[in-house]
Structure 1
Amino acid sequence: MRRDGGVGVTDRLVDGYDLVIFDLDGVVYLIDKPIAGAAEAVSRLRADGTSLAYATNNASRRAADVADLLNGMGVSAEPDEVLTSAGAAAARLAQTLPAGAPVLVVGAEALKAEVRDAGLTPVERLEDNPAAVVQGFGPDVGWKVLAEAALAVRAGAMWVATNTDRTLPSPRGALPGNGSLVSVLRTALDREPDLVVGKPAPALFETAASLSKSRRPLAVGDRLDTDIEGAVGAGMDSLLVLTGVSGPAEVLAAPASRRPTYVAADLAGLFAPAEAAVIPANGAEAGGWRLVDGRLDGTGAPVDALRLLAGYVWGGGRPTSGSDEAGKLLAEWGLTAG
């Protein structure tokens, strides 16, 4: 790191930061399988003395369980480095409700355990007079508990969602996430949750930075609508990796609230020079690609073309192709080849 805390042209991207906050699904693993290079990236950061945190919207596991899962994959983690939306939601409810208050839990056993550990009482039915409904992802969530939750909210219970991720990444493709389940209640009740705790809300990022006493954190994620938007809202630099949900077309169409500082194919981008991942505002060349007067040509890694195009498109430009390879990328990413 430079003395002024910034990143120089020849520095590794990570050298400008004192904390790396990782999302998990789509960044470190896919469901239960590690993403190639994730364990090595974490090991290199630890060897360099860089502080780490794991911030996940997944509410189906507790922090200790997440740490065990990561260690089982060869990715080193301590429970106190893990921040989950389940734990954050339970903590917020404990601040709002009296001790022992009944809370109807929609989600996995991990969410029930977090509610219980926060000094509240998990319940399952309207007849238990829940003061709140907390909704998180669980693979066994079905109609019955959603019906009880709808009745409880309609009767006046506070409705808290751990997150609103529409999908979850998996080796088979995107699967329905908690946001899809939240939309069931949203449709039935014709209203929004009273509180959404997880990303893109900045709470998980801010908590991670506070616990580490970080002055310059970097958030790493795979989703523009949660990880990157949350980092922007928290005032943090962010790295989008293309190993999970958001792809090139979504990057190019991103509004200002969802634009990452850097884009890389995977976590190896942390250790490359910062200029190899930054989005150039007025860039003309990147990794073998050239963009002159809006015309893209050359050859190289698609992620480098994406970085050039993102800066140009975000500035209002409309690129055209100057080669067959460029034309193919533009077509794949929903841009007119020209």
Structure 2
Amino acid sequence: MTGTDQVTGTAAVRDRYDVLLLDLDGTVYAGPHAIPGARDALVVDGGPRLYYVTNNASRSPAQVAGHLNELGFPAMESEVVTSSQSAARLLAQRVPAGSPVLVVGTEALAEEVRVAGLHPVRSFDDAPVAVVQGHSPDTGWRILAEATLAIRAGAYWVATNVDTTLPTERGLSLGNGSMVAAVRSATGREPDVAGKPARPLMDDAVRRSAGRRPLVVGDRIDTDIAGANAAGLDSLLVLTGVSTPADLLVAPAAQRPTYLASALAALARAPEELAIAPHPSVTTVLEGTTLTVRTESSAVDEETVLRAALAAAWAAPTVTEVRGVPALRTGA
């Protein structure tokens, strides 16, 4: 069934948009495994088109599409938008064609540099005029040292993304942003950033998808949601990856999503059910810095209570403790 929620008969949130700009790690899959229920939620007859937008620069679009296909998601190479592609575009706009660019990352990132008309190198001795840095599980001291030398000598520096952590099936691991921090410390320089929350990747995704009403879907408020807000796009945060309700409680305005749900299955629900807003059956009382939340009906689910509590907390930025919502418990 499409166009309506099977339970309530109301229009589904997915029908408000013509394309979903989907994060991957923590949203669609975690490492080699699909997030439970993700395929059924996304592969819907008559649903919005799917574009996959990832900060992870370690794999090529073809490799990402292949992995998605293996997990049962429809994906063509042209429907995958990576931060490595956006980083290569930034480089091509800044340095002359054919220029040597020192690559800190995988061969997939180096290939995007080639596609952009530049010459990837791995040594400071090759006189690079720019450095591009993306995630690779094999990154070590030697290549970071080469990048440091080049940047200190004046090379233009682009980071594919600055995510400090990377979701895996084993938990949160070291992300590209943590490696970028090491080079930042050694050079005193700041890179231009291609990936979320910076705009280049999101702008490229909107342009390539030709979306007139895109919805950004992701699991991180500091990248996916902040990136959507920076680009002026609606967003859905799913609680299947990095960000938690406690993170949302203290989120600045730039990191607050339009919609909130525990999983992608909520795309079948009505928009007003997912919006972070007051609810008639949820009462909130603010006393000093403590927000107390009470539910007036047993029919109200925990997610609805959470959304109403967040709406009240965001309206009173002095809140430091929330009572009545276990997911938002901040006190001892």
What's 1:316 paired with? 316
Specify the alignment match of 2:227 in structure 1.
Answer: 230
- Write the deviation string for residues 82-120 of structure 1: whole angstroms up to 9, x where unpaired: 100011111221222222111100011110111122221
Residue 19 of structure 2 contacts residue 50 of structure 2 at CA under 8 Å; is this kept in 1?
A: yes
Read off the aligned partner of 1:306 and give its amino acid letter: L
Q: Which of residues 277, 283, 297 is equivalent to 1:291?
A: 283
* Contact 1:284 1:292 (8 Å CA) reproduced: no
Task: Kindly indicate whether residue 167 of structure 2 is the aligned counterpart of residue 172 of structure 1.
Answer: no
User: Is the Cα contact below 8 Å between 2:86 and 2:204 reproduced in 1?
Assistant: no
Residue 6 of structure 1 is matched in structure 2 by none
Corresponding residue number in structure 2 for 1:206: 203
How is 1:128-207 mapped onto 2 (pairs within 5 angstroms)?
128-193=126-191, 195-207=192-204
**TM-score when scaled to structure 2?**
0.90
Contact 1:42 1:76 in 2 (8 A): no
Q: CA deviation at 1:206?
A: 2.3
Give the Cα separation in 1 of the matches to 2:105 and 2:303.
37
Partners of 1:54 and 1:188 lie apart in 2 by 34
For 2:214 and 2:85, how far apart are their aligned partners in 1? 22
Give the structure 2 partner of residue 77 of structure 1. 75
Does residue 93 of the first structure (1) align with residue 74 of the second (2)?
A: no
The TM-score with structure 1 as length reference comes to 0.89
Q: Measure, in 2, the Cα distance between the counterparts of 1:301 and 1:110.
A: 44
1:33: Cα distance to partner?
1.1
Gapped runs of 5+ residues in structure 1? 3-8
Task: Spell out the pairing of 1:27-38 with structure 2 (5 A cutoff).
Answer: 27-38=27-38
* Cα distance per residue 1:191-236 (max 9 Å; x no partner): 211x100000122222222233322111000000000000001101
Give the equivalent residue in structure 2 for 1:333.
328
User: 1:320 offset after TM fit, Å?
Assistant: 5.2
Aligned AA for 1:92? Answer: L
* Count of equivalent residues: 317
Write the distance in 1 (CA, Å) between the matches of 2:235 and 2:146. Answer: 39
> What one-letter code is carried by the residue in structure 1 that aligns with 2:176?
N
- Residue 42 (structure 1) shift: 2.2
Higher alpha-carbon deviation: 207-216 or 129-138? 207-216
| 4+ aligned runs moved over 6 Å, structure 1 | none
Distance 2:122 2:249 in 1: 44
Match of 1:229, SS? helix
CA distance in 2, matches of 1:212, 1:67: 15
Is the 2:42–2:264 contact (alpha carbons within 8 Å) kept by the matching residues of 1?
no
Unaligned runs of 5+ in 2: 4-8, 287-291
Residue by residue, what CA displacement relative to the aligned partner does 1:42-67 show, whole Å, maximum 9, x if unpaired? Answer: 211xx114222111000001111110
Asked whether the equivalents of residues 224 and 246 of structure 1 are also in contact (C-alpha less than 8 Å), the reply is yes
Task: Provide the rounded CA distance (Å) in 2 between the counterparts of 1:172 and 1:246.
Answer: 16
Matches within 5 A, 1:238-249: 238-249=235-246
Query: What pairs up with 1:262-273 in 2 under 5 angstroms?
Result: 262-273=259-270
Question: How do 1:36-55 and structure 2 match up within 5 A?
Answer: 36-44=36-44, 47-55=45-53
Change (3 A) 1:96 1:246: same
Match of 1:62 in 2: 60
Q: Does 1:24 align with 2:16?
A: no
**Alpha-carbon distance in 2 for matches of 1:123, 1:80:** 26
Cα gap change, 1:11/1:49 in structure 2, threshold over 3 Å: closer, same or farther?
closer
Further displaced range: 182-191 or 143-152: 182-191
Closer, same or farther in 2 for the Cα pair 1:212/1:126, shift >3 Å? closer
Does structure 2 retain, via aligned residues, the 8 Å contact 1:100–1:119?
yes
How far apart are 1:301 and its partner, in Å? 4.5
Identity of aligned residues (%): 49
Distance in 1, Cα, partners of 2:35 & 2:215: 20
* Residue 218, structure 1, aligned to residue 215, structure 2: yes
Instruction: Specify the code of the residue in structure 2 equivalent to 1:210.
Output: R
1:170 Cα deviation (Å)? 1.6
- Give the residue type in structure 1 aligned to 2:237: L
